[in-house]
């Protein structure tokens, strides 16, 4: 990861540049310009308040009541303008934030869902994790914090330019005079210390006279003090950045574990797995606590230093300027004005110190988003390798596989090279032991498995539907679940009811407009039937069934295959199953057998039980 400021800025710009060079850039730049203008106006108000503060204390010192009333009227006007500018800035700034977030979220969703990166990213956990957090939380944090930090930097720069001039002018004038008697006479009380006390006082006078004789001495001291503080904060707080990154990752892992338990609560309850889940979750939370404690120790060190630093910074300008005030060189109003100006200049220079935790969190978010982007790019690279394997239309309406070898993500051979051909109307049953690559073969044929070699000639068009063992049912109406991924408005009630009946779920037709979390409401067999009903809705030409009827009873399973062949006689379907009774509903049978070297081989065997 980048360590220098320039490399970090390049990484940030690689994430921010697409928006600021997109079709949205002119609206965004207009909003940003308006925000910068209102911020500059607020800083102008700050400068006017600085001079108002000087005049106020001078007026009080003089006892000028009439001018005091005038200053009250000026203050009312400044307050009105300040509130107006602040409200305008807040509104425009919020519009800019949500506009950038909306665009970046849409871009990341398109990239994550495009080219099946959301699926391919799961095959290699080393390239990005917790994509839900990246899109829902990290994009928001990246956009909002980036803009907040930019505006803080801009406001600090404007404030620095304005107030450093004020501070420099107030540093001008005669230096602290030398030769004045000490403020306290101790000769009558501790005469033995008089000589030492007098020497210390003369040394103090000489030092203050030397410092105040330097042009802009308050400005130079402010620079030195702020630079020293920033350097020490970077040394003390550097480990917090890595700990902040790790904290967010551990929190996301813990949240994912809770979500996973919720989604599988029934299975957990059936096998009484609560103690094991509690141990796993508590172990995950223990890592959060450990990292939090490590971060807390570093944070205490940082906060202790910052507390000392800021407490001293409040008194520094007074200690430097008090001798000139008591010597009558500067007025009370000037003393308060230079104290305020010193604070504003120091605040501008101390931006890094004041916002160190914000910078640490922002950099952690930037790193996570960069990891997410690299994960998507890795998925695209995997997808690009498949372009050399797949072609369409070269074999007419047939699907032909030539020397297709499948590998695990760690590059170990999973399925030895296979060659076969499928024609329209074919029905193939694929059998074999668990873990032999049956499901992976279907993924490869549908373009979902990137770790492969060989050639796959697809028909054109290749209208294929894949039915997994555990179907996805979206939350909402049952009508939407049946028609997914198409909108339900495209299909009539009669078509949906017919599809449910052919999938052996006619009783569910009465619940079409009921809204529910169907993955938790329906049984496993009912969920599979709802998913199978989509076949009769969408009518694919090619169908891959990956143990899609495993939760159904054999009677319903047989009825489904009979309905499939009667309703869609030209469909080509491949079925993965362990039940031998399904051989009767498939004309061909592919068997996968394990070899001694851990690989597997596919061969077509005679299917004497076939009824068609």
**What value does the mean pLDDT take over residues 517-540?**
93
Does residue 610 have a pLDDT over 80?
no
pLDDT digits (tens, 9 = 90+) for 135-145: 888 999 999 99
pLDDT of residue 607: 62
pLDDT-derived band at 612 (thresholds 50, 70, 90) equals low
**What value does the mean pLDDT take over residues 469-494?**
93
Alpha carbon distances (Å) from 272 to 47, 246, 282 = 69, 32, 17
Strands of 230-356, DSSP E: none
- CATH code at 276? 1.20.1560.10
- CATH code at 456? 3.40.50.300
pLDDT digits (tens, 9 = 90+) for 283-293: 999 999 999 99
- Tracing tokens 């400005």 back to the chain, one arrives at 219
Residue 542 falls within a domain, yes or no?
yes
Domain co-membership, 370 together with 454 = no
pLDDT digits (tens, 9 = 90+) for 453-465: 999 999 988 899 9
**Is the C-alpha dihedral spanning 154, 156, 159, 161 positive or negative?**
negative
Domain co-membership, 368 together with 430 = no
Does residue 407 have a pLDDT over 80?
yes
Q: Among 315, 349, 383, give the residue marking a domain's end.
A: 383
Domain co-membership, 66 together with 118 = yes
**Residue 571 CB-density burial (10 A; 0-12 exposed, 13-18 middle, 19+ buried):** buried
Q: What percent of the chain has pLDDT over 70?
A: 96
Q: Mean pLDDT across the chain, nearest whole number? A: 86
Residue 209 falls within a domain, yes or no?
no
Residues recorded for the chain: 612
Q: Among 363, 383, 403, give the residue marking a domain's end.
A: 383
Residue 612 falls within a domain, yes or no?
no
- The better pLDDT of the pair 161, 3 is held by 161
Residue 459 falls within a domain, yes or no?
yes
pLDDT digits (tens, 9 = 90+) for 482-512: 999 999 999 999 999 999 999 999 999 999 9
Helices of type H across 387-474: 438-445
- The better pLDDT of the pair 226, 18 is held by 18
Residue 555 falls within a domain, yes or no?
yes
Domain co-membership, 403 together with 550 = yes
pLDDT digits (tens, 9 = 90+) for 410-444: 888 889 999 999 999 999 999 988 888 899 999 88
Domain co-membership, 369 together with 448 = no
pLDDT of residue 322: 79
Domain that holds residue 339: 5-172+215-383
Tokens found for residue 386: 């498949």
- The better pLDDT of the pair 205, 402 is held by 402
Does residue 304 have a pLDDT over 90?
no
Whether 549 and 516 have beta carbons less than 8 Å apart is answered as no
Domain co-membership, 436 together with 565 = yes
Domain co-membership, 371 together with 418 = no
Question: If you ran DSSP here, which 8-state letter would residue 485 be given?
Answer: T
Residue 413 falls within a domain, yes or no?
yes
Lowest mean pLDDT among 62-66, 183-187, 514-518: 183-187
pLDDT of residue 487: 92
Alpha carbon distances (Å) from 75 to 49, 54, 71, 193 = 8, 13, 6, 51
Does residue 126 have a pLDDT over 60?
no
Q: Is 470 helix (H, G, I), strand (E, B) or coil?
A: coil
pLDDT-derived band at 129 (thresholds 50, 70, 90) equals low
Domain co-membership, 441 together with 540 = yes
* Overall domain count for the chain: 2
pLDDT of residue 128: 58
Residue 206 falls within a domain, yes or no?
no
Domain co-membership, 303 together with 418 = no
Domain co-membership, 33 together with 50 = yes
Whether 295 and 24 have beta carbons less than 8 Å apart is answered as no
- The better pLDDT of the pair 479, 120 is held by 479
Among 507, 464, 500, 465, smallest CA distance to 479 is for 500
Domain co-membership, 39 together with 154 = yes
Residue 255 falls within a domain, yes or no?
yes
Alpha carbon distances (Å) from 530 to 370, 398, 523, 549 = 39, 29, 11, 11
Among 186, 161, 285, 299, smallest CA distance to 241 is for 299
Domain co-membership, 369 together with 423 = no
Q: Among 343, 361, 383, give the residue marking a domain's end.
A: 383
pLDDT digits (tens, 9 = 90+) for 239-274: 887 788 788 888 888 888 888 888 787 678 878 888
């Amino acid at each position: 990861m980048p360590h220098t400021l320039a490399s970090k800025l390049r990484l940030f710009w690689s994430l921010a540049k697409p928006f600021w060079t997109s079709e949205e850039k002119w609206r965004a730049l207009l909003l940003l310009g308006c925000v910068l203008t209102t911020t500059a106006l607020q800083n102008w108000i700050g400068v006017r308040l600085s001079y108002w503060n000087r005049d106020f204390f001078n007026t009080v010192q003089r006892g000028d009541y009439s001018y005091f009333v005038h200053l009250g009227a000026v203050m009312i006007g400044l307050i009105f303008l300040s509130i107006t500018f602040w409200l305008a800035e807040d509104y425009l700034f919020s519009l800019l934030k949500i506009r950038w977030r909306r665009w970046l979220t849409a871009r990341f969703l398109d990239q994550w869902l495009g080219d099946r990166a959301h699926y391919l990213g799961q095959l290699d956990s080393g390239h990005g994790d917790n994509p839900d957090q990246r899109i829902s939380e990290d994009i928001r944090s990246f956009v909002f914090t980036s803009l907040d930090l930019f505006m803080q930097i801009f406001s600090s720069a404007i404030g620095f330019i304005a107030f450093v001039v004020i501070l420099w002018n107030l540093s001008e004038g005669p230096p602290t005079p030398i030769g004045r008697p000490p403020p306290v006479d101790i000769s009558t009380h501790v005469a033995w210390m008089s000589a030492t006390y007098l020497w210390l006082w003369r040394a103090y006078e000489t030092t203050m006279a030397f410092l105040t004789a330097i042009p802009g001495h308050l400005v130079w001291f402010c620079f030195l003090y702020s630079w020293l503080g920033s350097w020490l904060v970077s040394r003390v707080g550097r480990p917090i950045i890595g700990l902040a990154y790790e904290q967010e990752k551990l929190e996301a892992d813990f949240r994912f574990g809770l979500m996973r338990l919720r989604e599988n609560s029934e299975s957990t309850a059936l096998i009484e797995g609560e103690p094991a889940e509690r141990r796993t979750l508590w172990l995950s939370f223990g890592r959060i606590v450990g990292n939090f404690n490590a971060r807390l120790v570093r944070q205490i060190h940082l906060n202790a230093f910052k507390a000392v630093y800021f407490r001293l910074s409040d008194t520094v300008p007074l200690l430097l300027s008090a001798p000139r005030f008591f010597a009558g060189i500067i007025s009370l109003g000037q003393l308060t004005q230079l104290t305020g100006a010193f604070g504003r200049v120091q605040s501008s220079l101390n931006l890094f110190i004041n916002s160190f935790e914000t910078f640490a969190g922002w950099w952690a978010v930037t790193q996570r988003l960069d990891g997410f982007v690299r994960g998507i790019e890795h998925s695209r690279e995997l997808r690009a390798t498949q372009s050399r394997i797949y072609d369409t239309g070269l074999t007419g309406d047939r699907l032909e596989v030539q020397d297709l070898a499948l590998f695990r993500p760690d590059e170990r051979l999973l399925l030895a090279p296979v060659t076969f051909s499928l024609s329209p109307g074919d029905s193939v049953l694929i059998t074999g032991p668990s873990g032999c690559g049956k499901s992976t073969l279907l993924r490869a044929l549908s373009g979902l498995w990137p770790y492969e070699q060989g050639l796959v000639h697809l028909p054109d068009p290749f209208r294929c539907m894949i039915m997994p063992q555990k179907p996805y049912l979206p939350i909402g109406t049952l009508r939407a679940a049946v028609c997914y991924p198409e909108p339900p408005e495209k299909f009539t009630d009669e078509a949906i009811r017919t599809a449910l009946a052919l999938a052996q779920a006619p009783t569910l037709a009465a619940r079409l407009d009921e809204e529910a979390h169907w993955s938790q409401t329906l049984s496993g067999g009912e969920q599979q039937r709802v998913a199978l009903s989509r076949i009769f809705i969408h009518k694919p030409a090619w169908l891959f069934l990956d143990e899609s009827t495993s939760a159904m009873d054999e009677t319903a399973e047989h009825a489904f295959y009979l309905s499939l062949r009667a309703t869609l006689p030209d469909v080509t379907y491949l079925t993965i199953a362990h039940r031998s009774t399904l051989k009767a509903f498939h004309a061909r049978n592919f068997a996968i057998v394990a070899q001694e070297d851990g690989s597997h081989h596919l061969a077509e065997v005679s299917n004497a039980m076939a009824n068609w």
